[in-house]
Amino acid sequence: MNALVPLPILLSLATAIVTIFLGRSLRGKIVVSLGGGGATFVTALFLLWTVWSRGPVVHAMGSWPPPFGIILVADLLSSGIVLLASGVAMVALCYSVGYVEEEGQRLAYHPLFHLLMMGIYGAFLTGDIFNLFVFFEILLISSYALVAFAGEDYQLEASLKYATINLIASAAFLLAVGGLYGVMGTLNMADLSLKIRQLHDAGPLPTIFLLFVAVFGVKASIFPFYFWLPDAHSSAPTPISAMLSGILIKVGAYSILRVSSVIFVPLWPDVQTWILTLAAITMVIGACGALAQSDVKRLLAYSSVGQMGYIILGLGIGTPLALVSTLLFIVNHALAKAMLFLMAGVVIEATGTRDMGGMGGLARQMPWTAGAFLVGVMAIAGVPPLFGFFAKFLLITAAIEAGYGFLAALAAGLAIVTLWYLFAAWQQIFWREGNGHALHAPPRLMKGPGFVLAGVIVVGTVFLNPVVNFLRNVEAQMRQPANYVTAVFEEVSHRSGPSEESK
């Protein structure tokens, strides 16, 4: 059963390799690429189901027992987010088939996409800090290439900026890893969790923890490390924008969640104020930045910055309710923002401009697109029937309960700003008097995937109770890092026990 854990990573790698060697056969590449994506999605479903029924599953790479070898750990949090990532990736892949020009697909698009996914799954599943660094680099270098994929000047510049900031972050990551190893003598997350508990004097560990938060903050685009995001996310090809904004920035939030809930538990009070402050500033910057945009993709990118502020805020408050709201935000933002980017891509394809001033009145010609876009807008802005509302409601309740009245007021105030700029954007694109330009009909494959995501959001809202119950379970498991540690070290006893073959 354990072999299930590395399977999403291996499937993505295998798909990437096969698509490289298919040469210039377009049809073959598309079939293999979609097949690989679909297989990964099914594997992720199966993995989540296994973890749900049996508790955390651990796989020791190369059969080296922890803490010496690299281990992969699937608990509810990691397998849940792998499923989310593989679902969004599948949708983005279908969209890519219609969107990316044929020549690009014949060349390197599909291999790069699957390498990106391999890095993402790896970062979610790994139980080793240095391995996390390696998977980060895999997903980053694929995303640099994908941002610059079409080779326009602005894409190359955005990719260069993105690579520069992330290369500095990687150096900082190595510093943090070096410091951590110097102090603790191990890099296995479960082992670190045990050893930090026994430590009497924290020494330089709070600084190292803060360095990790900063490094992951660059990926999660929290203030002051957000400035690369609006360029990179708006310049990338549309399906890649959806992946970057939907899933990739969540890798940063997930990593902060992981290191703070498993490793640095006793040190949490030292950095909480920092995280809360940065989250508050991020929310303000994202909302204000989005207000000033006229380019639809830049607006969505700035909105991602603001939403990451909410996600990090819930994480910073750290009460069970706040963490459930953070998880709900992650699900909501991954689905809704990916869908908004895909729909924005459809609109840009139809009108030939990214400037919202040049659009208008599209609701008459593309009523379904307008409707789906509205669902996304309502989900992100948190309009009551959709579950974005419940995420915000839980977060504000949690903030008041924990005694952060000011942050609750700020979150509520900025929710109104979010509502304002998103509805203003929708109104500008779809509602007001059109300028009567002829529209190009976008390929059908570009419209379908967005509707799938819109459908998932609506269905998720209908079944809100099971979703929230599931997230409560995820949170309860996160709160007990002992489970994680036991699962990892039980792996050792299982391997030495006689029952290994039957397992």
Binding site for another protein (CB under 8 A): 130, 133-134, 137, 140-141, 144-145, 148, 151, 153-154, 156-157, 159-160, 163-164, 167-168, 170-172, 174-175, 177-179, 181-182, 187
CB of residue 147 to another protein, shortest distance in Å: 10
Question: CB-wise, 172 or 281, nearer to another protein?
Answer: 172
Question: d(Cα 276, Cα 335) in Å, to the nearest integer?
Answer: 25
Question: CB-wise, 40 or 293, nearer to another protein?
Answer: 293
In 3D space, the residue among 268, 281, 284, 290 whose CA is nearest the CA of residue 340 turns out to be 290
How are the residues of the chain apportioned to helix, strand and coil, as percentages rounded to the nearest 5?
80, 5, 15
Place of tokens 């910057």: 285
Query: CA–CA distance from 324 to each of 120, 234, 241, 381 (Å)?
Result: 22, 29, 26, 18
Question: d(Cα 407, Cα 322) in Å, to the nearest integer?
Answer: 12
47-63 residues labelled b (16+ CB within 10 A) or e (exposed): bbebbeeeebbbbbbee
Place of tokens 């957000």: 226
Question: CB-wise, 149 or 387, nearer to another protein?
Answer: 149
CB of residue 141 to another protein, shortest distance in Å: 6
CB of residue 130 to another protein, shortest distance in Å: 5
Question: d(Cα 241, Cα 92) in Å, to the nearest integer?
Answer: 9
Question: d(Cα 126, Cα 259) in Å, to the nearest integer?
Answer: 12
Question: CB-wise, 170 or 483, nearer to another protein?
Answer: 170
Query: CA–CA distance from 97 to each of 23, 109, 349, 351, 381 (Å)?
Result: 17, 10, 14, 20, 30
CB of residue 211 to another protein, shortest distance in Å: 11
CB of residue 262 to another protein, shortest distance in Å: 20
CB of residue 72 to another protein, shortest distance in Å: 17
Question: d(Cα 171, Cα 176) in Å, to the nearest integer?
Answer: 9
3-state secondary structure of 293: coil
Question: CB-wise, 181 or 420, nearer to another protein?
Answer: 181
Question: CB-wise, 178 or 224, nearer to another protein?
Answer: 178
Question: d(Cα 356, Cα 348) in Å, to the nearest integer?
Answer: 9
Alpha helices in 68-108 (DSSP H): 76-99, 102-106
3-state secondary structure of 56: coil
Question: CB-wise, 208 or 410, nearer to another protein?
Answer: 208
Question: CB-wise, 88 or 187, nearer to another protein?
Answer: 187
Question: d(Cα 476, Cα 348) in Å, to the nearest integer?
Answer: 43
Question: CB-wise, 147 or 386, nearer to another protein?
Answer: 147
Question: CB-wise, 151 or 498, nearer to another protein?
Answer: 151
For 300-366, the DSSP string reads HHHHHHHHHHHHHHHHHH-SHHHHHHHHHHHHHHHHHHHHHHHHHHHHHHHHS--BGGG---HHHH-
CB of residue 179 to another protein, shortest distance in Å: 7
In 3D space, the residue among 15, 74, 14, 12 whose CA is nearest the CA of residue 46 turns out to be 74
CB of residue 168 to another protein, shortest distance in Å: 6
Number of neighbours of residue 225 by Cβ within 10 angstroms? 22
Question: CB-wise, 156 or 439, nearer to another protein?
Answer: 156
3-state secondary structure of 57: strand
CB of residue 38 to another protein, shortest distance in Å: 30
Assigned token pair, 423: 């509805």
CB of residue 134 to another protein, shortest distance in Å: 6
In 3D space, the residue among 346, 305, 339 whose CA is nearest the CA of residue 460 turns out to be 339
CB of residue 154 to another protein, shortest distance in Å: 5
CB of residue 104 to another protein, shortest distance in Å: 15
Question: CB-wise, 96 or 155, nearer to another protein?
Answer: 155
